[in-house]
Structures are given as structure tokens and as C-alpha cells.
Amino acid sequence: MTQTEKKVRVRFAPSPTGYLHIGGLRTALYNYLFAKKKVGTFVLRVEDTDQKRFVEGAVENLIQALEQMGLSWDEGVYIMDHGTCNIEHEKKNSKTYAGIVEVGEFGPYVQSERLELYKKYAEQLVKDGKAYYCFCDCERLEQMREKQQQAKLPPMYDRYCLDNLTSAEIAQKLAEKCPAVVRLKVPKDEIIEFEDLVRGKVTFASNTIDDQVLLKSDGFPTYHLANVVDDHLMEITEVIRGEEWLPSTPKHILLYRAFGWQEPQFAHIPLLLNADKSKLSKRQGDVAVEDYLQKGYLKEAVINFVAMLGWNPGEGSVQEIFSMAELIEKFDLKKVHKAGAVFDLKKLDWLNAQYIKKLSVDELHNSAKTFFEAKEFFETWNVKRAVWSVAEKEEYLKKVLAIEQDRLANLSQVGDENEFFFKDIAYEKSLLAWKEMTDQQVKESLQKSLQVLGDTSESQWTRELLEQNLLAAAGEKRGELLWPLRACLTGVQKSPSPFDCAWVLGKEETLKRLQRALQLF
């Protein structure tokens, strides 16, 4: 079977060094969309060979973040008994991580459980003359680099061990268990060329490539060796990853050639940039997927936003809102941009607002409930409403959300602009006057509102009927009636309409606030 005839197999292979970066989510999403469109296989692998940067709990966090964002994978690592781990295949417990299981025929899917494999392949390269042992200590390497810097030469290993040690000396050092690494013997004076699915033809000169370390002295592989061995053995057909890995690609291609293996196709997606065109980093703001979910961004909006960071359907399309099904249908690596993609938070806010507007009130309530509960004013309100049933409280919150829905950019904003729905209010009497109204005119206006609303039955207490009745009472002098009413219900200069406020507050509370206002006169 040729490369083009192989079933598509792609992978997302995060390192457990922290939370899922928004850039990592985009890489995972592009792999997911590509696999789904090609009816291929999406693999989740854990690249945990960099033990110095390992963060406890990061594997679980990465998996949970992908689950939260609605991505699913066909094989690899899963959290036992989670929703994504419902594949009807044999599950093997991870030897490294409690509660993690592996599903698939190409495991283990945790690199730290594959050390013997990497050692075997590294030794095979040495035997074939494609790699060599290096015994140089840190002191010598540092001195070498300093001399290269002084001579304004690129920092590259000088092949001291390759050129100066005999086979007998190497064997003796190995027998004495001297610390050693295995380095790739990079061929000289060659041009490495490949066709990138995003960037087109890319070429590198082999003379610019260092004899990189493949196997460290502690027996752990470097990213380069583990990545190539795993991608080959797991039959990965396309490697879709960030642009930062582009300089490593010629090293990987040389490794494939050294092993005599067919390399996969590569696709390097553009960097994510801050507004000032610097690389998106934690120093300049939130970059973890979890941060955005905690701030009240809907997963559908984040997925939509991330998909378009460096990609669009092209052909003059003006569509900006895509369901997951539409993204799968339209996704094409040929339409991924080469230039860096600017992370525009204003665009994310706009997209999120569009998704919030599309929710039913029940869906919005379910999504916003935890954000309400985190508010300081909510706790006090909840205690005051202790006599209310759960259903009554939920109904009240749904009314607040119905008023706020069109103005929310994210769910963390719920209630912030309308705390008067939850708190006792206080204000100066002057707030109640519309333009040059006298105290007597304000009093008469409030009395008229009290009469109209007092005559409105509970069954008629709807947004539509409240508006209809109050506008009829106001006649042509709307401001004189509606401003004092709205001010006495909210205690602030800016708020939703008095009809909306009265509807949310309910008849009893609305009449109470009107009567309190009248006591000022």
C-alpha cells in the first residue's frame, strides 16, 4: 500500500508540562477536523520524556480539557470511566498514571512506557553507522560553545567523540558505564527538501543541522527520536503541528531516512500572536483553555474562534459562525495561512456573544448558574430568598438572564450591570426627576405608575402587557412617567427598560420600591 493509499492517521501528542495551551487546542482541533473529514483515526499520545518539566496532574488536566471542548479521539489515553472512554475495545491500565487507561493496537501511548523501544532503535542506528556515542561532559560542551560564540560560529557539536575515539575506547567507556548520549550522524553537503501541506516546498542544508542528541544519558529519548519512532510505529500518515517545529523537521526526515522508513506528510500551522505581533505567551495574558472556560466563554465559541486562527474556508466566504459539523465539512489544510494569526480577544468576545444569544433561556441558565453562585451579591440574595423554592429561584434567574442575554459577551458578566435585581437599592431623590421635573410632578408620576401596576394582575404581569399598560398611561409624555419609574426600581442612571425591570422584580417587589420612592416626597 502506498503512502497516498494509507488510511489517514493523525495524532495530538501534548507534553504534561501544564494546562492545555490555546495553541495546543488549535493543533488538536486541526488534527481532529482533518481526521473526521478524511474518515481517519485521531490518536491522543502523551509525550512525557522531558521529566524535568513534568507537572503532576497535567495528563489528567489535558485529557479533561479536550473532553470539555467536545473533542473525541479514536485511540490513545483516556481517563477511566469518563464519557470519552466508551470505546468497545480492550482497555489497558497505564503503568505510569493511576486512573488512566490506554485503548488501541499501537500502545503504549505514554512515551515513558516505551523506553526500551527507543533504546533499541538508537542502538540500531549506532550499529548501522548512522549515529554514535558521545561522552563529552557539560564542562567541555560549554567551553566548546564559548569558543564558537567568540568565533561567531553557529553552536554545533564538533564531533570530538566521533573523530577521536576508537571502537575499543568506546567499548571500554560503555563497559565502565561512563555517562553517554547517542547523537545522530548528520550527513554533510546534502539538501533536505520536503513538501509541507501548508507552506509548500521547504528546503534545508544539512550543514546547518547539528548532530542532535537522540538518547540521553539517563536512558530517556529526546523529542526527536521518540517522535519519529512513535509516529512510524503508530503508522501516522500526516503530522500536523505548530510552526515552531518546522526547524526540527529536517532532523526528523534524516532520522526517517537513517531507519529506511517512509516519512509522513508534514503540515506546520502558523504561530499564534498577541496584538503587538509577539508570540502568544502567559506573560501577556491568559493562554490556557481552562482560563477562558472559567471566564464564561462557551466551548462552542472558543472552538469556532480557535479554528479561524490561521484558517478560513476561502472562496470569498463571509461566514464567521461554524458548527463543528460545518468545520469538519469545510476544513482544508490548503486554506491554512502561512502568516502568524493574531489572537483578537474582541473577536472572541463578539463570537461568544453570538453563541450566547442563540441559547434557550434554560440552556443559558444551566451554563450561567455557577457564575451567578460565585457573585458576592448572590449569596446575600440567596439567604434573603430562603423561603423561596428552588424552582422559584431558578425562575427568577431565568428572567434576569432573559433581560441580559443580548448584552452578555461572556457568562462571567451575569448580574454585574444589574445588581439591583439582587440587592436593596439606595439613591438620591434627584435621580427620580426627568429633566426639569418638579418634586410634585415626580410624585404624581410615581403615583400614576403605582396605580397602573397595582391594577395589573399577576396573570397579566408579562413584559408585553406591562409595556402596553405603562405606555398607554404615559401618553405623549413617556419620559416623565418612565424615567422616575425606572430610577426607583434600579437606583442607577443606566439600566434595562422599566417594563423589563418590573417584570423581573415581580409585582410585590415593584410596588414596594415605588412606595419607598414616594416616601421621599
Residue 2 has pLDDT above 60, yes or no: no
Q: How far out from the chain centre does Cα 291 lie? A: 8
- Half-sphere CA count of 506, side-chain side, radius 13 A: 11
pLDDT for the residue 87:
60
Q: Which three cell numbers stand for residue 316?
A: 470569498
pLDDT for the residue 6:
79
Residue 409 has pLDDT above 60, yes or no: yes
Residue 132 has pLDDT above 90, yes or no: yes
- Structural domain 425-518, CATH architecture: Orthogonal Bundle (1.10)
Residue 423 has pLDDT above 50, yes or no: yes
**DSSP classification of residue 311:** B
| Residue 176: count of CB within 10 angstroms of its CB | 7
pLDDT for the residue 83:
61
pLDDT for the residue 1:
44
Q: What is the dihedral of CA 406, 408, 413, 416, to 10 degrees?
A: -40
Category of 8 on φ-ψ map: left (φ > 0), alpha (ψ -120 to 50) or beta: beta
Taking residues 95-111, report their average pLDDT: 92
pLDDT for the residue 16:
92
| Residue 147: count of CB within 10 angstroms of its CB | 11
Residues of each domain in the chain carrying CATH 1.10.10.350: 425-518
Q: Choose the catalytic residue: 7, 120, 279, 282.
A: 282
Residues of each domain in the chain carrying CATH 3.40.50.620: 115-269
C-alpha–C-alpha distance, residues 179 and 217, integer Å: 6
pLDDT for the residue 85:
58
Task: Look at residues 412, 382, 388, 404 and name the one whose alpha carbon lies nearest to residue 501.
Answer: 404
Indicate the average pLDDT of the chain. 93
Residue 233: what residue type?
L
C-alpha–C-alpha distance, residues 512 and 508, integer Å: 6
Contact 274, 285 (CB under 8 A): yes
Residue 212 has pLDDT above 80, yes or no: yes
Q: Angle at which helices 115-127 and 249-259 pack, to 10 degrees?
A: 70
pTM: 0.91
Tens digit of each residue's pLDDT (9 = 90 or more) over 307-340: 999 998 877 778 899 999 999 999 999 999 999 9
C-alpha–C-alpha distance, residues 185 and 166, integer Å: 16
C-alpha–C-alpha distance, residues 351 and 411, integer Å: 13
Q: Which three cell numbers stand for residue 483?
A: 424615567
Taking residues 52-75, report their average pLDDT: 92
Confidence of residue 283 (pLDDT cuts 50, 70, 90): low
Confidence of residue 277 (pLDDT cuts 50, 70, 90): confident
Q: Which three cell numbers stand for residue 432?
A: 427620580
Calculate what percentage of the chain has a pLDDT beyond 90: 88
Residue 246 has pLDDT above 50, yes or no: yes
SS3 of 488, please? helix
- Structural domain 115-269, CATH architecture: 3-Layer(aba) Sandwich (3.40)
Q: Is 6 among the catalytic positions?
A: no
